[in-house]
Amino acid sequence: MNKENNKVKEPLFHIAKRPAIAWQKAWGIRGASILIAFLFSGIVIMMLTKQNPLDVYATMFSGNLRSETKIWQLLQETALLLCVSLAVTPAFKMRFWNIGAEGQVLIGGLATAACMILLGGKISNGLLIVVMIIASIVGGAVWAIIPAIFKAKFNTNETLFTLMMNYVAIQLVSYFAMVWEKTKGAGTVGEIQYGWLPRIGNNDYILNVIVVLLLTVALYIYLTKFKHGYELTVVGESENTARYIGINVNKVIIRTMLLSGALCGVAGLLLVGGKDHTINSSIAGGRGFTAIMVSWLAKFNPLYMILTALLLAFMQKGAGEISTVYGIDKAVSDIITGIILFFIIGSEFFINYEIKFIKRHKEVE
Amino acid sequence: MKSMKKILAVLLAVIVVAGLFAGCSKKSTPVAGFICLHDENSTYDKNFIDAAKEACEKLGLKEGEYLIKTNINEDNSCYEAAKDLVEQGCKFVFADSFGHEDYMIKAAKEYPEVQFCHATGTQAHTVKLDNFHNAFASIYEGRYLAGIAAGMKLNEIKEAGKLKGKTAKMGYVGAFTYAEVISGYTSFYLGAKSVCPEVTMEVTFTGSWYDETAEKEAANKLIANGCDLISQHADSMGAPTACETAGIPDVSYNGSTVSACPNTFIVSSRINWAPYFEYAVKAAIDGTAIDTDWTGTIDTESVVLTDINEKAAAKGTKEAIDAAKAELVAGTRKVFDVNNFTVTVSKDKNSNAKIDNKGHLTSYMADVDTDEAFTADTEVVKDGAFNESVFRSAPYFDIQIDGIELLDVNFG
C-alpha cells in the first residue's frame, strides 16, 4: 500500500530550452512545418469544400503568378505590406507595441490626398509631389508621436493608445471623404486626377517596389550599424540598463516612434499617390495589423521581412483567388491561411525548445 | 550577405515550385466577370451574386465561364480586378458599387474591345465611351408598393388602438444622404401615405452602406422615438433583427429577411439584376450594342417584391399591391405625382425647386450630369410628375418633402 503511494509518476516527456541551433536544422524545421501545414489544411479543404486540395493549391499559385500583371501585383502588394512592416519594426524592437500603424498609414494617406485635391492643378506636378512627400511623412509622424509623448511623459499604455488612434484616424478619413465627395451624399472621393507618382517605363507597379526596397536596406543599416539602432534595442531589452549606460530613454522612445510614424506616412503616400489615387477609410486594408505578423515572423530583421511579407501577400492574394474560382466564402480561404500561419509560428517553438521523451525505467523486482 | 543568399535560395525555390503548379491548372476560359464590393454576407452583394449566377446559367455559361470577385474595394483594386478578368478572357466586366465607377472607366479606356457595365453609376452618359455603360432600376416603384404594405399595416395597428403616439409614425434607417437613398425613402413614404394619409416618418443615417451595429442602434433609436414601423436602406441585417427583438413590424430591402424575422417581416422590395445581366452579357458575347443608361422597371421584372409574410402583414395587402402595380405599369399612377406631396422651399432647403401656392412642385432642376460643383442642370418636372430615372438610370430625386423629418445628417 505504502509503496505505491510513494511512487512518483514520471511524465512521458519534458520540454527543455535548446542551445543555439544550426541554421540548416532551423530551416529544416521551418520547411517541415510548412509541409505539415499544407497537408493539414489539405484535409480541412477536403472536409469543408469537397475539392481536391492539390487543385486548390494550384489555384493559389496561379492566382499569384498566372500572368506578368499578376506577378507585378503580387510584388506591389508585398512592397506595400513590407513598407508598413518596416515601419512597425523599430518600435517593436524597442518593445513599444505600436498597434496604430493602420491609423498612421491612413493619416499619411489623408495628408497625401489633401495635397492632391487642394493643390492639384494649382502648382506644377513635380512640386506637388514634393509637398505630398513632406505632408505624408509629417502626417504619419504626428499620429505616431502623440502616443509616444504620452508614454514618455506619463507612462500611458501604448498598446491601447495607438489602437484607439486608429479609430480616430478612420473617422477623420470618413469625414474628409464626405467633404471631398464627388457626388452629393455618396461619400466617395473617386479618382483624383493630380499628383500621381511617376510611372517608370510604362509600369504602374515598379516605383513602389523600388522605393520600399531602398527603405528596407536603409532600415537594416540603421538598426544594425548605427548607434540609434543599438540604443533602441537596449531600451527594449531593459530600460534600467539603458538608463545605467546613459541612454535618454524618453528621447529614444519619441525618436523611434517618429521614425515609425514617418515610414507609415510613406506607406500612405505610396497607397494614395502611387496606387489608388483616392482616399477612403479602408485604403490601409488591414496592412497595419498584418504588418505586425510580418515583423514578428522575421524576428524584426528587415531583410527576412522581404520573405515573410511575400509569404503573407501571397497567401492573401491566393485566398482571394480560391474564393473566386471555387465560389466559396472568403472565410474558408482565410481559414486555410490561418492554418498555415499557425504551423509556421508553431515551428518557432520547436526551434527554441526541444521535447525530450523519458525512457521508462524498468524496475528490477 | 549570408542572409541575403538564404533569401534568394528560398525565393528561387518558391518560383520553381510555382512554375510547376501554374503549368498544370486547366480551366475553361471565362466570358463574364463580376466585381462585388463585399461578399454574400451583405444583402446588397448577395442580390447581385444570385442574379449573376441565374443569368449566366440561363445563357448556358458553365461554371468557370463566369467569375465573381468579391471583397473588392472602391479603389485601384477594382481596376486591377477588372484588368485581371480581361486578361483571363472576359468579354464582359461588371462592378456593383458606386465607388467602383472611376476605376471601371479607367479599365474601359484601356480595353476598348471589352464591355464594362456598372450599376448605380452616373457617368456613362457624360464620358461617352462606347464600351462603358450604367444600369439601374426604377426601384422607387418597388419601394412605393412596399410602402403600401406599410401603410396598410399602420391602419391595422391604428384600428386595434395600438399606435404608440396619436398618429401613425414610421422610422427609416438610411445609409447616406445620397439621391438613391432619398429617392428610396420618399417613394416608400408616398406609398404608405397613399393608404394612410396621416402618416409621418423619421429618417436617420448611419454614414455607411454596411454597418450592422450602427444599423441596429439606429433602428432601436427610431423604435424608442415611438415609430410604429421600420424600414431601411442599408445592407446588413441590423435593422431587421432589431425590429424582431422589439416586436416592431419591418419592411425590408434587398430580399426577404423572413427566416431571421418570422414575426415582424412584412415584405421586401429588391432590384432583380438577372434581366439586365442576361441582356448585357448576351449583347457582349454577340457583339451587339448595350444601352448607355439602362433602367429596368417593374414591367421588365427588374423591380420585384418578395412574398408577403401573411403572419405580419395586414389583411388585403396583396390585393392592394397588385392593384397599384397594375396602375403603375399602365402609367395611370405615378409615384412622384406632384399632387401627392408638398414641398417647403427655403434658402438652404430645396433651393432648386419651384412650387405653386399649395406647395406642389412645378419645376425642379436636378444634378443629372456629374460635376464637382453639383450644378443643377436638367429640368425634371414634366407632365405633372417628377421624372425619376429618365435622364439617366441612377436616381436623382433629392428633394426633402413635407412629412418626413431628418433626425440627423450623420456622416458616420
Pairs across A and B, CB distance < 8 A: 130
* pLDDT exceeds cutoff 70 at B6: no
Would you say the C-alpha torsion A119, A122, A127, A129 has a positive or negative sign?
A: positive
Q: Residue A344: is it exposed, middle or buried by C-beta count within 10 angstroms (0-12/13-18/19+)?
A: middle
Ramachandran sector of residue B86 (left: φ over 0; alpha: ψ -120 to 50; beta: rest): alpha
How is chain A split into domains, by residue range? Answer: 11-50+329-365, 69-328
Q: How confident is the model at residue A185 (pLDDT cuts 50, 70, 90)?
A: confident
Is CATH 3.40.50.2300 the classification given to domain B32-138+274-296? Answer: yes
Q: What percent of chain A clears pLDDT 90, i.e. is strictly above it?
A: 63
* pLDDT exceeds cutoff 90 at A147: yes
CATH number of A69-328: 1.10.3470
Residues of B in contact with A61 (CB under 8 A): 17-18, 21-22
* pLDDT exceeds cutoff 50 at A325: yes
Minimum Cα–Cα distance from A77: chain B residue:
B77
Does A326 contact B at CB distance below 8 Å?
no
CB neighbourhood size of A327 (10 A): 17
Once rounded to an integer, what is the mean pLDDT over residues B324-329? 95
What are the residues facing B252 on neighbouring strands?
A: B268
Contacts 24+ apart (CB under 8 A), A150-158: A151/A96, A151/A253, A152/A249, A152/A250, A152/A253, A152/A254, A153/A250, A158/A96, A158/A97, A158/A98
- Rounded Cα–Cα distance for residues B303 and B187 (Å): 14
Q: How confident is the model at residue B12 (pLDDT cuts 50, 70, 90)?
A: low
Residue B376: predicted pLDDT: 87
C-alpha cell at A72: 507585378
* pLDDT exceeds cutoff 50 at B23: no
Would the CB atoms of A185 and B398 count as touching at under 8 Å? yes
Average pLDDT, chain B: 91
SS (H, E, C) A180-247: CCCCCCCCCCCCCCCCCCCCECCECCHHHHHHHHHHHHHHHHHHHHCHHHHHHHHHHHCHHHHHHCCC
Residues of A in contact with B234 (CB under 8 A): none
Residues of B in contact with A62 (CB under 8 A): 21-22, 25
Q: Could you say which DSSP state residue A123 is in?
A: B
- Rounded Cα–Cα distance for residues A344 and A308 (Å): 11
* pLDDT exceeds cutoff 50 at A67: yes
Q: Residue B255: is it exposed, middle or buried by C-beta count within 10 angstroms (0-12/13-18/19+)?
A: middle
Q: How confident is the model at residue A365 (pLDDT cuts 50, 70, 90)?
A: very low
Residues of B in contact with A301 (CB under 8 A): 3
Q: What percent of chain B clears pLDDT 70, i.e. is strictly above it?
A: 93
Residues of B in contact with A65 (CB under 8 A): 15, 18-19, 22
For the whole model, what pTM was predicted? 0.85
Instruction: Identify the helix (H) or strand (E) that includes residue B245.
Output: helix B238-246
Does B29 contact A at CB distance below 8 Å?
no
How is chain B split into domains, by residue range? Answer: 32-138+274-296, 139-273+300-406
Instruction: Identify the helix (H) or strand (E) that includes residue A15.
Output: strand A13-17
Lowest mean pLDDT among B42-46, B120-124, B334-338: B42-46
Once rounded to an integer, what is the mean pLDDT over residues A30-40? 89
What are the residues facing A309 on neighbouring strands?
A: none
Residue A19: predicted pLDDT: 79
Same fold, B32-138+274-296 and B139-273+300-406: yes
Does A124 contact B at CB distance below 8 Å?
no
Q: How confident is the model at residue A340 (pLDDT cuts 50, 70, 90)?
A: confident
Fold of B139-273+300-406: Rossmann fold (3.40.50)
Best of A27, A30, A61, A176 to disrupt the B interface (most B CBs within 10 Å) is A61
Per-range mean pLDDT, top range of A177-181, B16-20, B38-42: A177-181
CA distances from A203 to A56, A78, A211, B104, B308 (A): 30, 16, 14, 19, 55
